[in-house]
Structure 1
Amino acid sequence: KKAKANKKAAAGKTNAKKTPAPKNAPQKPQPHYDPDVPMTKEEAAEWRREQRRKRNRDSAAASRQRQRDRITELECEVDQWKKKFADVMQRLQGLEAERENAERERICALAPSETVSHGIPYSIISPCPSPGLSPPPSPDSIFESPPPLSECHRVLEKAGQGHDEELSSKGKYEEHHLIEMSPTPA
């Protein structure tokens, strides 16, 4: 029994019987349009047709006006949402710029920290993030010159000059993932 009920429900059939509308039910009265002046049957039919066309034109014009009003209302709403979106995006960009600046300052402040490992002094050089993405270099410009170093790298590079040859000849130069090690004066 359940299987049959499920099949009927799946097919959209229900056990509820629909009752047809009574044949004697009062219908909504239709307006009867009669001309003000006496006319023949054909003239009255033509007059009614013309009146119906006029009512249809008026109704269509009113419908178009309602649509135009609704479109104007929705366009105003869209403009408000666009303004809100632009404000939020501007705020987001400002917060991202603040976050990038704070991160850059934090990294640059930590970069020149000196430490000693196995009796060898060295500095940890962390890459300072660039303020924005630049377009990829063209194939011709790749071999011309290396990209400029950030201020953090320049300071640390000056501090480590002269000791690179000494440590690399001894084989004590260490390199770690994402952290470049370079010697500093002791």
Structure 2
Amino acid sequence: MGFSVSAAFAILFTATLLSIGMLYVTTENVYEHVKEATSDYNNALLKAKTSFLEADLYNYSTIPGISLYNITFNVTNKGTTLSPKEWSFIYNGSLVTATGVVDIENKPYLLPGEVILVTVQNVPKDTLVHSLIINTETGCSLKIKWEWVGNTTVGSPKLLISAWYCSVEG
């Protein structure tokens, strides 16, 4: 008693149909994931290309007899909506991880045209050029450079440059 040819053919035919069906579903899922990833990438690229921050004004505060000062920058959003909670800061070449170095105004979103205050605290009154890089969630950054003009008792900070740059290009 053997297995008939027609039964073997029916099993092979059913297995082939199931395989083709699974292949179709898998291919469709891969296509949808690639399409969704492409859409996410295009949205992120568009946000990066339409984001822009600018440091317009600044002010400072110091206590007489102390060789430290705080400098506050007014950073204006001249592009798309950004999320300051997702920003990171590099002060004088070091990533800021401790509180009390850079203080940012508490805003969940920075809408186009809005201003946010960013304060660098306890900056020494020396002749070195200081820098602050504000890295946004778009991959773009605002770099601010300034120096103290004067001595430790009399003087004021002077803004040297403020530049926006994006390493994300597509």
- Class of the TM-score when normalised by the shorter of the 2 chains: 0.3 to 0.5
Q: Work out which structure has the larger RCO, using CA pairs closer than 8 Å and 6 or more positions apart in sequence.
A: 2
Structure with max Cα Rg: 1
